[in-house]
Structure 1
Amino acid sequence: MSTPARPVPHDGLLRIEDCLDDDGAVVVPAGVNLISLIDRNIANVGDAPAYRFLDYSGANEGVATELTWTRLGQRLRGVAARIQRVAARGDRVAILAPQGLDYVTAFFGAIKAGTIAVPLFAPELQGHAQRLDTALRDSQPSVVVTTSAAAANVRSFLADLDGVPAPRVVILDEITDTDEFEPVDLDLDDVSHLQYTSGATRAPAGVEITHRAVGTNLIQMILSIDLLDRKVHGLSWLPLFHDMGLSMIGFPAVYGGHSTLMSPTAFLRRPHRWIKAMSDGAREGRVVTAAPNFAYEYAAQRGRPGPGENLDLSKAVLILGSEPVDIDAITAFNEAFTPHGLPPNAFRPSYGIAEATLFVATIAPQARAAAVYLDRGALGEGRAVPVPADDEGAVAHVSCGQVARSQWAVIVDPDTGAELADGHIGEIWLHGDNIGRGYWGRPEETRRAFGARLTSRLPTRSHAEGVAAEANWLRTGDLGCYLDGELYVTGRRADLIVVDSRQHYPQDIEATAERASSMVRPGHVTAFTVDGDLVLVAERASGTARMDPAPAAAAIRDAVRARHGLPVADVQFVAAGAIPRTTSGKLARGACRTEYVDGRR
């Protein structure tokens, strides 16, 4: 058992050691939460920047607006006071605003008011109306906060939500500063916000994230990624309703740093904007940013500097948070930007999940991202057997390093609950104070996912050492293993393709299909089964709209049979953008399968 954290002095910026007990375990002291941390920053570094937003909309090209900690505090009092007039403590307050500084103040303002923030998005986000509908019906907010620019679309969307009590709509940019705010005591075990899952394998669910979980996970991330230098600042285009996006506005609050934000659209239209912002940020210190596989590949293809442009990426820290991490994305980015000073240890392949607030594991700060090659046949049997990279059956897997301090990850046989030895693949189960409280309004799902119990542990070198025998564990739904003391994530249980009792990972089959034909748009092919038959759906690569897909489909069938020993029942080519993706950019294989089945009826 850990000892209590040391008493935290109320003056000065928070010190990381104030959140560690005598044994070095992470223990968030009472009274420490995002709002108290912001108040500390106001008192100590009030004139320093807190958040910047680079605006690329309309005629703007990176016009920067900024909130200092003092100005943020003023805005939060106004927003919180307005929310308190129309919502009771514990009510849900949904944020349906575009990316920007108003979103930041809405999120923190809802928490400051004593309500539960529900970070979502404005209805104009294309292709995700069903996710927004699901989240609003599930959380049933009493208040929705938005901006005047998005208000008409928000009201129209809310009007179509039959059977849901109509929430009050608060317009952020119409709120003025006020002294009418009533201070609220925030207990560590109160819910800070509902983090909706990505919906990659099932309908989105709202994870109840407590103040304790937020504080614990931010400290874990800072320690693991080595963000202790107060000059480290964040850079992110990730959606602020996404767990990784929220973390990029959370960690500066811990010690008075700052984050620079831009919109996902700004990145997608010109990925070089992200790269240039990394370089510009180097003048102020190290720059930490985060993105999934596709973003690094996309930036390597479309974000390279123009002739004569001087970039400085020597201070970049790159979190790669996809599951599983793709070594090709790392290689492509390194090849593109090493000539511009990118350090060999810039990448931090990481593992995270919404139910754990976000962060679970990453490699050591001085380590270099690397892959091991595992035998495909053994993987199908649930074993991780290293082979040479040039082996015919070699499949690359990237290490996610070590689990964060005061967090535990065990590899478990999901059918028996028994811990598996290193080198065996099973479901990843997690334990720690960073784990969410459960799913909002879903007691049965909560008991199954958050109330798992280990039936047996390894007699030696158990990864559960230090956790009480009767403790609850989180079933992640992710598959992985330990090799040489490091965690590897191999895929999702729900995505596994099982044919003739053998397991196949969809990303492995998808990579084979992509290599088999140049007609496949890179990174845009999904594999799944329908009635036991293997189906692949691929987006057409640029310039192939008029090509006959039959030869490409035949090449894919031949390649999949040769490499995986699997017959392919159907190969379909669709237009670019047709395959559904989650709001975080992951392939939504389940949604693609549903569309495929519906299209055959």
Structure 2
Amino acid sequence: MTVEPRVEGLLQIEDILDSAGNIALPSDVTLISLIERNIANVGDTIAYRYLDHTRSTDGYIHELTWTQLGVRMRAIAARVQQVASAGDRVAILAPQGLDYVAGFFAAIKAGTIAVPLFAPELQGHTERLAVALHDSRPSVVLTTSAASAGVDAALAGIGLTPKPHVIAIDEVPDSAGETLVPVHLNVEDVSHLQYTSGSTREPVGVEVTHLAVGTNLAQMILSIDLLDRNTHGCSWLPLYHDMGLSMIGFPTVYGGHSTLMSPTAFIRRPQRWIYALSAASREGRVVTAAPNFACEYTAQRGLPEPGDDIDLSNVVLILGSEPVSMRAIESFNAAFGPYGLPPTAIKPSYGIAEATLFVSTIAPTEKATVAHLDAERFERGEAVRVPADTEGAVTQVSCGHIARSQWAVIVDSETSRELPDGRIGEIWLCGNNIGRGYWGRPEETRQTFGAELLPRPSADSHADGAPDDAGWLRTGDLGFYLDGELYVTGRIADAITVDDRRLYPEDIEATTAEASPMVRRGYVTAFTVPVGSGAELVLVAERASGTRRADPAPAIEAIRAEVSDRHGLSVNDVRLVPAGTIPRTTSGKLARRAARAAYLAGDFGT
């Protein structure tokens, strides 16, 4: 069936809520139908703005209105249709920018499945790119003329058979849109494949449907109170990452706009993020997102120049992608509070690619809070509050409340039974925002997305209200409920088990960083390696700036002593390595799995 999408007025939140206030996405609401609504109703307004710092220190501004985006979408989609069939995968291997945005949406409009990846210019991630391309088998690759030579070389090295057609987005004329064959999209259709970060395993492609992405965008908007149409986005996050995609997704819901820049531009000069937030804050509310390291990094190196007129009074910052650190929150608040940043601006949140992204956050009027917990009982799976001044207390930041029309339970993964509040277990999720499964992996999909919660939950369960026949998503993340709020402690695969104690690498890594000024904060990884019939702890830490020639022996001794004193652990080996040595995922998280493999291969020296 080939029909043009039905166009109506701008989407109202009432359009996607049922009589009970639950999110119920209509069958004709897709990413593309939302964009078509915006074209029809606010076509001349800005949809996306890109600050290009390769052409200007201050950022050369590229803009697309909704109408212009529609023209580019039609043209690129028509070109895709000439060499691809419905349901084919179309990989986006383009640099960050408006061509990437247009290419992503065009792949969906063409009736194909978008695969947001990255140009081969991203150093150190060739293997991840190869894994994703071999897994998704795209028939088409979208890139830009500037990146096409590198893409051709990468595809030749990766050896895909048959080789996908390569289309340079910026070389497709607007007139190509005249040949577009309209495609009917349904909410159950797969919109795109979101490849996981690969921090603890090989990347896999999550099948994200229009239903999942539309529901999740609505959940985010409702949870953070982004209903004001004068709310805009601002992001440097990579567009192949789930959090980066959400920043181009949420303006489609109600016709706002997002200002984008590249991750490289942010890393080289984090003030650019602050200046962009300030400019947007003067227009109205501005929502942005970042991981822990970005907040600490910006607080250290992103302060405005003296005399700069900065206004952050309308900023909302979603903080996530790893267990949230109160240190990161406090450092950012201290640095930018003098510029009007509200104490409620930072929203510690939890998200995961398999849930499209967003799972929970704190209320719009709340400040970030921390729970102080008994250390011994915490290591044994219990979260019990103690006074804040208790020696050795474990601190955990609340990730707030679960999004509307989504359910999260804490489960004993061995028995599949829900655990009571205050007990640590695996987080299981249910809701229409959950992806359909893993691309091409039916057995893994069944195990991960089709978990059965036993026994049937009681009325006071956190599963209350979930469909009776619901399959549950095993997240692989550990957490607990306390006073109705969700806390996330870390990944099961990363947990360090000693006797009957479960320890978390983030805690040990923080202790390592605090033990010596020679350690580069945020650049420590902790893992275990097999020794005989057991396992022993290894720490790899990058050297702080200016310490390259310093004798590492005192720092290593201090680290061993501090880890032993605070965690009761013996450290088998400590390696201090140059900055930039520890592998990270494409989203900036520590790649502990890759670091462990590198250590065992002898890549960190002796």
Instruction: Give the 3 Å change call, closer, same or farther, for CA 10–74 of structure 1 in structure 2.
Output: closer
Residue of structure 2 equivalent to 1:483: 482
Cα distance in 1 for residues equivalent to 2:193 and 2:161? 18
Residue of structure 2 equivalent to 1:318: 317
Instruction: State the TM-score, normalizing by the size of structure 1.
Output: 0.97
Residue of structure 2 equivalent to 1:549: 552
Cα distance in 2 for residues equivalent to 1:43 and 1:124? 37
Q: Which amino acid aligns with 1:168?
A: H
Residue of structure 2 equivalent to 1:4: none
1:429 and 1:475 in contact (8 A); partners too? yes
Superimposed CA distance per residue, residues 120-172 of structure 1 (whole angstroms, 9 cap, x where no aligned partner): 00001011111101000000000000000000000000011235320000010
Where 1:200 maps in the other structure, the secondary structure is coil
Counterparts of 1:524-543 in structure 2 under 5 Å?
A: 524-531=523-530, 532-543=535-546
Residue of structure 2 equivalent to 1:444: 443
Where 1:599 maps in the other structure, the secondary structure is coil
Cα distance in 2 for residues equivalent to 1:36 and 1:581? 37
1:561 aligns with 2:564: yes
Where 1:244 maps in the other structure, the secondary structure is helix
Residue of structure 2 equivalent to 1:56: 53
Counterparts of 1:302-313 in structure 2 under 5 Å?
A: 302-313=301-312
1:574 to 573, 577, 582: 577
Q: Which amino acid aligns with 1:345?
A: T
Cα distance in 1 for residues equivalent to 2:457 and 2:419? 7
1:52 and 1:64 in contact (8 A); partners too? yes
Instruction: State the TM-score, normalizing by the size of structure 2.
Output: 0.97
Residue of structure 2 equivalent to 1:591: 594
Cα distance in 2 for residues equivalent to 1:20 and 1:254? 14
Cα distance in 2 for residues equivalent to 1:542 and 1:69? 45
Cα distance in 2 for residues equivalent to 1:72 and 1:482? 43
2:457 and 2:464 in contact (8 A); partners too? no
Cα distance in 1 for residues equivalent to 2:354 and 2:341? 32
2:199 and 2:593 in contact (8 A); partners too? yes
Residue of structure 2 equivalent to 1:193: 192
Residue 177 of structure 1 deviates from its aligned partner by: 1.2
Where 1:324 maps in the other structure, the secondary structure is coil
Residue of structure 2 equivalent to 1:466: 465
Cα distance in 2 for residues equivalent to 1:394 and 1:564? 11
Counterparts of 1:233-252 in structure 2 under 5 Å?
A: 233-252=232-251
2:28 to 31, 42, 62: 31
Residue of structure 2 equivalent to 1:375: 374
Cα distance in 1 for residues equivalent to 2:160 and 2:41? 48
Residue 456 of structure 1 deviates from its aligned partner by: 2.2
Residue of structure 2 equivalent to 1:46: 43
Where 1:382 maps in the other structure, the secondary structure is coil
Superimposed CA distance per residue, residues 385-442 of structure 1 (whole angstroms, 9 cap, x where no aligned partner): 1112221221211111110000000000011100000000000000000000000001
Moved more, 430-439 or 449-458: 449-458
1:149 aligns with 2:130: no
Cα distance in 1 for residues equivalent to 2:58 and 2:312? 21
Residue of structure 2 equivalent to 1:223: 222
Superimposed CA distance per residue, residues 298-324 of structure 1 (whole angstroms, 9 cap, x where no aligned partner): 110001011111110000001001321
Q: Which amino acid aligns with 1:381?
A: R
Residue of structure 2 equivalent to 1:18: 15
Where 2:602 maps in the other structure, the secondary structure is helix
Counterparts of 1:393-432 in structure 2 under 5 Å?
A: 393-432=392-431
1:100 aligns with 2:97: yes
Where 1:86 maps in the other structure, the secondary structure is coil
Where 1:479 maps in the other structure, the secondary structure is strand
Residue of structure 2 equivalent to 1:506: 505
Cα distance in 1 for residues equivalent to 2:295 and 2:571? 30
Q: Which amino acid aligns with 1:332?
A: S
Cα distance in 2 for residues equivalent to 1:262 and 1:449? 35
Cα distance in 2 for residues equivalent to 1:268 and 1:553? 29
Q: Which amino acid aligns with 1:477?
A: G
1:258 aligns with 2:257: yes
Cα distance in 2 for residues equivalent to 1:468 and 1:78? 42
Residue 444 of structure 1 deviates from its aligned partner by: 1.3
Where 1:322 maps in the other structure, the secondary structure is coil
1:133 aligns with 2:136: no
Residue 460 of structure 1 deviates from its aligned partner by: 5.0
Residue 60 of structure 1 deviates from its aligned partner by: 4.7
Superimposed CA distance per residue, residues 211-257 of structure 1 (whole angstroms, 9 cap, x where no aligned partner): 10011001011000110000000000000000000000000000000
Q: Which amino acid aligns with 2:116?
A: P
1:418 and 1:457 in contact (8 A); partners too? no
1:421 and 1:458 in contact (8 A); partners too? no
Cα distance in 2 for residues equivalent to 1:456 and 1:523? 41
Residue of structure 1 equivalent to 2:80: 83
Cα distance in 1 for residues equivalent to 2:296 and 2:139? 41
Superimposed CA distance per residue, residues 172-220 of structure 1 (whole angstroms, 9 cap, x where no aligned partner): 0100113111110001111000000000100000000001001100101
Residue of structure 2 equivalent to 1:268: 267
Cα distance in 2 for residues equivalent to 1:244 and 1:542? 30
Cα distance in 2 for residues equivalent to 1:457 and 1:443? 26
Counterparts of 1:170-181 in structure 2 under 5 Å?
A: 170-178=167-175, 179-181=178-180
1:420 and 1:458 in contact (8 A); partners too? no
2:458 and 2:464 in contact (8 A); partners too? no
Moved more, 500-509 or 291-300: 500-509
Q: Which amino acid aligns with 2:385?
A: P
Cα distance in 1 for residues equivalent to 2:56 and 2:250? 32
Q: Which amino acid aligns with 1:350?
A: S
Residue 283 of structure 1 deviates from its aligned partner by: 2.1
Residue 89 of structure 1 deviates from its aligned partner by: 0.3
Moved more, 51-60 or 278-287: 51-60
Q: Which amino acid aligns with 1:76?
A: M
Cα distance in 1 for residues equivalent to 2:384 and 2:161? 52
Where 1:360 maps in the other structure, the secondary structure is strand
Residue of structure 2 equivalent to 1:3: none
Residue of structure 2 equivalent to 1:114: 111
Residue 538 of structure 1 deviates from its aligned partner by: 0.3
1:457 and 1:464 in contact (8 A); partners too? no
Q: Which amino acid aligns with 2:91?
A: A
Cα distance in 1 for residues equivalent to 2:441 and 2:140? 21
Residue of structure 2 equivalent to 1:278: 277
Cα distance in 1 for residues equivalent to 2:160 and 2:8? 49
Q: Which amino acid aligns with 2:218?
A: I
Cα distance in 2 for residues equivalent to 1:577 and 1:378? 36
Cα distance in 2 for residues equivalent to 1:310 and 1:184? 48
1:292 aligns with 2:295: no
| Structure 1 stretches of at least 4 aligned residues deviating more than 3 Å after TM superposition | 457-460
Superimposed CA distance per residue, residues 326-366 of structure 1 (whole angstroms, 9 cap, x where no aligned partner): 00000000000101101111011110000000000000000
Structure 1 unaligned spans of 5+: 1-7
Residue 470 of structure 1 deviates from its aligned partner by: 3.4
1:213 aligns with 2:212: yes
Residue 106 of structure 1 deviates from its aligned partner by: 0.3
Counterparts of 1:332-411 in structure 2 under 5 Å?
A: 332-411=331-410
1:323 and 1:490 in contact (8 A); partners too? no
